[in-house]
Amino acid sequence: MASDSPNTDSDAPPPPKGKSKLVLVLVLVNLVAVGGLGAYLVLGHGGQAAHAAAPPAHPAESVGPIIPLDPPIITNLGDTDQVRYLKVAVQLEVAREEVKPDVERALVPIRDRMLVHFSSLQANATQGAANKRRIQQDLLRMVNEIVGGRVKHVYFTEFVVQ
């Protein structure tokens, strides 16, 4: 006998309407995220492909042998109003492996010149990228006076003023 009553196969109430909208929003957000990740990977890791044509300022393949000045140099700065300290780790880049022993033999006078130079600086003269580049240029000139122009670059791997 046919019944006019609603289908009783499922006694569960229908899901609330707000919950189905939340699921739809979450699915859309995930699709956009996955699509964005796919575009990032396909188009060159965040635009690196576009920058690949421009040569880097100091390409890694042209970096010569590195001589670390260990341990880092720690000195007081030349400020007279308060005691300030500088801790700087310096590494020297030479053009070729064969000049490395000559520079290594001169590390004591190199460290001495650097220590004297750093201790003459005021704290404000060490702040900012431009001042650090100027200090690197000064050190490069001083080092090359000692080793006859054999150092290509001076790198700071630590630079702390306190």
Instruction: Please name every residue paired with 91 in a beta bridge, in sequence order, or none if there are none.
Output: 68, 155
Rounded Cα–Cα distance for residues 32 and 37 (Å): 9
Higher pLDDT pick, 90 / 44 = 90
4-41 confidence digits (pLDDT tens) = 555 555 565 665 566 667 666 666 556 555 555 555 55
Q: Coil, strand, or helix at residue 160?
A: strand
pLDDT tier for residue 48 given thresholds of 50, 70 and 90: very low
The pLDDT value given to residue 81: 85
How many residues would you count in the chain? 162
Phi and psi at residue 78, in whole multiples of 5°? -80, 5
Confidence of residue 157 (pLDDT cuts 50, 70, 90): very high
Element at 118 (helix H, strand E): helix 107-119
Cis preceding-peptide flag for 71 (omega within 30 of 0): yes
pLDDT category at 59 given cuts 50, 70, 90 is: low
- pTM assigned to the model: 0.62
Q: What ranges do the domains of the chain cover? A: 17-51, 60-161
Q: Which CATH superfamily is domain 60-161 in?
A: Band 7 domain (3.30.479.30)
Measured from the Cβ of residue 99, the count of other Cβ atoms closer than 10 Å reads 19
Classify residue 6 by its DSSP letter: P
